[in-house]
Structure 1
């Protein structure tokens, strides 16, 4: 899968970036940075790949993600809705705001499991 990183080219302003690497030992990725307008392309590619990859559990390790905007949460929920029977995302240690947005807008989405450990 490799490592993906995207950041706009405005040297004078702080910009969000998102780095994604494969997880060792299980199917999934470890992300670091922010999911925001400037990084949606990477986030959506990761989610689309996860939907296409086989069956079972796909882990999203987000302990190093500091922010996920509402569009990023919506993209996660939309991808989870496209998972086949018996499949799910396990979202590990997400930023508190992502957990709250998922609980508020998609409380019954059984294809996303949030783990704080």
Structure 2
């Protein structure tokens, strides 16, 4: 995977980027950077892959993600809604604002598990 995109605009850092690598030992990805206007294509690709892979649990390690905008949170919730019964996304160590956004707009969404 190893996708990276830099652009001169975005909601956070002017050089916003999102780097994504596969997790070792379990199905999922480790991301670093920001999810915003400049990186939505990468983020949506990650989420589409999670939906397609068909695993019961898909991990999103976000401890190195500093920002996720509302559209990124919405894309996460939409992807969770496309998962089949009994499947879930486990979001590990997300930025605090993402956790709060999910709780505010998509409370109790059973297909997303947030772990700290």
| TM score, norm. by length of structure 1 | 0.93
Query: What's 1:6 paired with?
Result: 5
2:46 is aligned with 1:50? no
Contact 1:55 1:86 in 2 (8 A): no
RMSD of aligned alpha carbons: 1.3
> What are the ranges of 5 or more consecutive residues in structure 1 without an aligned counterpart?
none
Q: How is 1:25-104 mapped onto 2 (pairs within 5 angstroms)?
A: 25-104=25-104
Contact 1:55 1:84 in 2 (8 A): no
Query: What's 1:18 paired with?
Result: 18
CA drift of 1:15 comes to 1.9
CA drift of 1:54 comes to 1.5
> What are the ranges of 5 or more consecutive residues in structure 2 without an aligned counterpart?
none
Q: Distance in 1 between matches of 2:29 and 2:73?
A: 16
| TM score, norm. by length of structure 2 | 0.94
Structure 1 residue runs of 4 or more that deviate by more than 2 Å after TM superposition:
none
Q: How many residues align?
A: 113
